[in-house]
Amino acid sequence: METLDNIQLGGERPLFESHHLTLHNVTITDGESAIKECSDIHAHHCHFYGKYPFWHVNGFEIADCHFAVEARSALWYSNDLIMRDTVIDGPKMFREMHNLSLENVTINDADETFWACHGIRMKNVRLKDGTYPFMFSTDIVVDGLNTDSKYVFQYVKNVEVHNAHIATKDAFWETENVTVYDSYIDSEYLGWHSKNIKFVRCQIAGTQPFCYIDGLTLEDCTMNADSDLAFEYSSVDAHVNGHIVSVKNPRTGLIEADTIGEIIIDQNIKGPADCIIRQRNHDRHAI
């Protein structure tokens, strides 16, 4: 395997169609598409400033590297990536890729990141700012995610999340087959229009969560005082610890908590309109 060590490269496609190559302390200074149509690439302690450095790459490792703001849209149309201990400052990373593994990665502008990617494994990842990370992606496993990006996990399928801290807006919209464990989620309108979405031992904050859902499960979760008007038009199996401030027009299923505040059942409820709503010490309401 050839090694390039402690050099600078720039211009148009300086490493086009390279294979079985190690980059160590390499700086991509400017230009476009430095590493394109390549395979078996190992980048260690490298800095990327040019645009689109990794496109159409199959089988590559990126470790202890930095992608500057100028290195936008850096990783597209590529497969089988291992990335660790890396900082990314540019937006629109990871597009239409398969089999990504990330560990100890910080993305400081997560705008339109992880779009239409399939097979994502991540551990201890930080996403900052930006909108719509993970749009249209599938088969995602997360252990340790911290993000304040807006509209996280929309239009995703087959997702498992552990130990996340998510402070966002409209998280988990239009999702299917999602399970979230041991996480804090502060999101207005959490989970709307989803199918088969489950939260286990999670703390939920934000107004009007869990509406328009077909197949919602809550196990040992807590809901903050701002989590009002919950469960509208949803089919639900919810077992909540502590208090639910208000419930509005659930469609069917069971909602159980230690205490429940306001229950709104009005003329706009949808059938079958047979949801059981109860406090643990005694039945509060059944419709």
For the chain, the domains span 1-78, 130-287
Residue type, 238: A
Taking 50 as the threshold, does the pLDDT of residue 182 lie above it? yes
pLDDT tens profile 251-271: 999 999 999 999 999 999 999
Cα–Cα dist 230/223, whole Å? 10
Give residue for tokens 């490493």: 15
pTM of the complete model beyond 0.85:
yes
Q: Using H for helix, E for strand and C for coil, what is the string for 253-285?
A: EEEEEEEEEEEECCCCCCCCCCCEEEECCCCCE
CATH 2.160.20 fits 130-287, yes or no: yes
Percent of the chain at pLDDT exceeding 90: 96
Q: Residues 6 or more apart from 278 whose CB is under 8 A from it? A: 254, 255, 256, 260, 284, 285, 286
Give residue for tokens 């690439």: 41
- DSSP character for 126? E
Taking 90 as the threshold, does the pLDDT of residue 286 lie above it? no
pLDDT tens profile 114-130: 999 999 999 999 999 99
